[in-house]
Amino acid sequence: MKLPYAPSTPDPSNPESAEIYARVAARRHPRPLIPLDLALLHSPPVADGWNSFLGAIRSRTVVDPGLLELAVCRVAVLNSAVYEWNAHAPLALKGGVLPGELEEVRSLPCTCSADNIQGEILQGSNLKPAQRAVLRYTDQMTRNVAVEDAAFDELRTVGFSDREIVELTATIAGYNCVSRFLVALDVGENNGRPMKEVGELVSTGLSAGEKK
């Protein structure tokens, strides 16, 4: 990483920092703190807010977990966030995304209008309708920021409620933040390395990644 990692234990002379370390560690339990935590903990107040926000996305949302992880993986692909892909691709598989579907999330070009002449990119795709809608929405939020009405309406068409749309939008926005932080500081020293192949994840039986 471009910075040294923060200590894995708090300064005992700083009770506020120690409480924040404890909250972050409680969300990670039974795993230890991960490199992302040890980067963020240079600023305990930022780490605390991050932990609360991402913790809510990860544990208190009602959107299908596979669709949320599909969105996170797509953000990782679009932003070349290797650390994020390697952590969340196994979670997508665990959430019910099939290997062939995850491979398309990794390999399909961006579906934003400027890159998607006559909507050809998803023609012949094996993605399910809800997965296609999430992929389009993720692409537009990540690359264009603004979302076309047609892409938004597609979420309604496949059955997303108001709450689910808010949660999906917050997840895509949040993991764009995560990916930019990871890549800017090279957390985990993954910049420039290849993302793990879907076949490798399946063959090694990975079913859990580093939740952020």
Q: What is the pLDDT of residue 119?
A: 67
pLDDT digits (tens, 9 = 90+) for 132-163: 999 999 999 999 999 999 999 999 999 999 99
pLDDT at 117 over 70: no
pLDDT digits (tens, 9 = 90+) for 162-189: 999 999 999 999 999 999 999 999 999 9
When the pLDDT of each residue in the chain is averaged and rounded to a whole number, the result is 93
Predicted TM-score (pTM) of the model is 0.93
Residue 175 corresponds to which amino acid?
Y
pLDDT at 211 over 50: no
Coarse DSSP helix, strand, coil percentages of the chain, rounded to the nearest 5 percent: 60, 0, 40
Output DSSP code: residue 106. H
Handedness of CA 56, 145, 98, 36 (dihedral sign): negative
CATH class of 63-208: mainly alpha
Q: What is the pLDDT of residue 78?
A: 98
**What residue ranges do the domains of the chain occupy?**
15-59, 63-208
pLDDT digits (tens, 9 = 90+) for 4-34: 999 999 999 999 999 999 999 999 999 999 9
